[in-house]
A = this chain, B = another copy of it.
Amino acid sequence: MIVAVIGAGQCSQEQYDIAHEVGRLIAKSGAMLVSGGLTGVMEAASHGAKDAGGVTIGILPGSRKEDANPYIDIPIVTAASHMRNIIIANTADVIIAIFGSYGTLSEVAIALKLGKKVIGIDTWDIKGVIRAASPKEAVELAGTYES
Contacts and interface: CB of A to CB of B under 8 A. Distances in A.
B75 A91 contact: yes
Interface residues of A, number: 35
Nearest to A106: B109
A96 to B, nearest CB: 18
Copy count, this protein chain = 4
A82 B86 contact: yes
A74 B59 CA distance: 12
Interface stretch (A11-19, A22-30, A97-105): A97-105
Interface of A: 2, 32, 55, 57, 59, 63, 65, 74-83, 85-87, 90-91, 101-103, 105-107, 109-110, 112-114, 126, 128
